[in-house]
Structure 1
Amino acid sequence: MGSALKLRGDYSAGELRRFARMTKDVRQSSRLLSIAAVLDGMSRADAARIGGMDRQTLRDWVHRFNAAGPEGLGDQWSPGPPSRLSPEQQADLAAIVEKKGCGPYF
């Protein structure tokens, strides 16, 4: 069994709860509340249950929190695959759609 994971000490549990109330991201809020519970001395399993995750997932979020603080607990979306159309093709397509419209009713 591994050693206990350390949390950074520059945020208090109260500050994390305040961040959780201020954020519009529900997932980030639950992650902040789980980490605040750990700071309050709750077991990792119980704190993970508060956030609707398992202990391993909480551990992963603690690593992100230690690296980037509360901002690091938000979802980070990838931009997706590169476009298959060249810029010229995109411009041509936009011109067709704007000129003729699209769908059966245009």
Structure 2
Amino acid sequence: MQGGTSLETKRDNPELAAFVRELVMRQDPESYAQTCETIIGLNPAEIEALRCPALVVTGDQDATSPPATAKAIADKIPCSKYVVLSKCGHWTPIERAAAVNDLLRRFLLESNG
């Protein structure tokens, strides 16, 4: 949990950090562990075959799935746009809701434009 949210979220929006904590803590521990183990054992999807626009967004303080991981994903998708949000951890839509909404709106308008 500590690595999931940014330092700024913990300091400036403790209610968001508490919300994320509750999301994680209210899950059944055994089921959560099994999900994590399943994810680790999966074969990667063939995302380089995607031919539709894709938006890959990450936070600069994401310790769960670091920006380098998101960048590697974006680099494999031919029509992708890669964005790193500052002062943000793993929970981008929660920590930076307005920024994510704006990115999605602009991305969808550009993709359909």
TM-score bracket, shorter-length normalisation: under 0.3
Tell me the TM-score normalised to structure 1 length: 0.26
Q: Greater share of strand residues, 1 or 2? A: 2
Tell me the TM-score normalised to structure 2 length: 0.25
Give the structure, 1 or 2, with the largest relative contact order (CA under 8 Å, sep 6 or more). Answer: 2
Larger radius of gyration: 1
